Amino acid sequence: MTNIILLGPPGAGKGTQARRLVEERGMVQLSTGDMLKEAIADGTELGRKVEGIMARGELVTDEIVIGLIDEKMKSAKGSGFIFDGFPRTLPQADALADLLDRSGQSLGAVIEMRVDDEALVDRIAGRFTCGNCGEVYHKTTKPTAKEGACDVCGSHDLRHRADDNPETLKQRLMEYYKKTSPLIGYYYHDGKLAPVDGLAEIDDVAKSIAVVLDRTAAS
C-alpha cells in the first residue's frame, strides 16, 4: 500500500489526477480543500469559520486541517492515501509524518506537479465542476461530452468555484509560494520528491504518476 502526496499550486491538476487514482487503483483521496468546501456547503460551525478565509484565498489554520486529516485517516479504507492539497505548510508536513508513524504507515512519494503561472491562470479561469458528483472539467481541455450535463452522473448542476477569480487566485498563488513551496526542499531532503511535468496532457500526467507509483511500490 503506497501513500502519496500530490503537491502543486492551485490549478496544477491535483484533484484531476487524484480522482483518476481513486478510480483506477482504489486509492483514497484525502483533499482538505474538498473537506472544507463540504463544511461550508453543509453550513457547519467549521464551514462558517473558514468561509471568509477561503474566499480571500488564504490558508486556514494548521490545527483545523490536521484535525480533518487525522479524523479521515482513522475512518477511510482503501489501497493507500492520496494527500491532495495537504500538507501545505512545514508544521502540516511534520504532523503528517507523526500521523503516518503512529498508524504504522509511511510515505511512498511526493509528486510535485510542475505548472507555470500562465497555465494556472488559464486552468482556473476555465474550470467548472459538477455540484453533484464533484467531477472536474475545463471549458477547452476537458469539456463535457454533452453541453451542460456531467459525463459521470448526468447532473446539470455545473458550477464555477467561488475562489476561482483572478483576485483570489493571486492570493492563493502567493500563499503557495510563501508557505507551501518550502515543502519541495523538505521532501527533496527526505528523498521522497518526484517531480512530474504538470503541463503535459491529462493522460500523460497520469502516466508519469503511474511510473512513480509503480517504482515506489516495487522498492
Check residue 68 for interaction with ligand AP5 (CB under 6 A).
Answer: no
Check residue 20 for interaction with ligand AP5 (CB under 6 A).
Answer: no
Check residue 127 for interaction with ligand AP5 (CB under 6 A).
Answer: yes
Q: Contact with ligand AP5 (CB under 6 A): which of 27, 59, 95, 209?
A: 59
Distance (Å, whole) CA 159 – CA 85? 21
Q: Are strands 28-31 and 81-84 parallel, antiparallel or unpaired?
A: parallel
Angle at 137 between CA 202 and CA 141, to 5 degrees: 50
The C-alpha cell at 50 is 473558514
Q: Is 14 a catalytic residue?
A: yes
Q: Which is nearer to ligand AP5, 112 or 193 (CB)?
A: 112
Check residue 21 for interaction with ligand AP5 (CB under 6 A).
Answer: no
Which range in 7-15, 22-30, 41-49, 209-217 contacts ligand AP5 by CB under 6 A?
Answer: 7-15
Q: Which is nearer to ligand AP5, 63 or 217 (CB)?
A: 63
Check residue 213 for interaction with ligand AP5 (CB under 6 A).
Answer: no
Residue identified by cell 478565509 is 53
| Amino acid, res. 2 | T
Distance (Å, whole) CA 185 – CA 193? 9
Check residue 108 for interaction with ligand AP5 (CB under 6 A).
Answer: no
The C-alpha cell at 12 is 496544477
Spell out where 68-181 has E strands: 81-84, 109-114, 127-130, 136-138, 158-159
Q: Are strands 81-84 and 158-159 parallel, antiparallel or unpaired?
A: unpaired
Check residue 11 for interaction with ligand AP5 (CB under 6 A).
Answer: yes
Using CB positions, name the residue nearest to ligand AP5.
33
Distance (Å, whole) CA 153 – CA 133? 7
In the set 49, 114, 142, 161, the catalytic residue is 161
Provide, rounded to whole angstroms, the least separation between the CB of residue 205 and ligand AP5. Answer: 5
Q: 3-class SS at 128?
A: strand
The C-alpha cell at 63 is 490545527
Check residue 85 for interaction with ligand AP5 (CB under 6 A).
Answer: yes
| Residue 114 CB neighbours (<10 A) | 15
In the set 49, 127, 142, 215, the catalytic residue is 127
Check residue 10 for interaction with ligand AP5 (CB under 6 A).
Answer: yes
Interface contacts to ligand AP5, rule CB under 6 A: 8, 10-16, 32-33, 36, 53-54, 57-60, 65, 85-86, 88, 92, 123, 126-127, 136-138, 141-142, 172, 200-202, 205
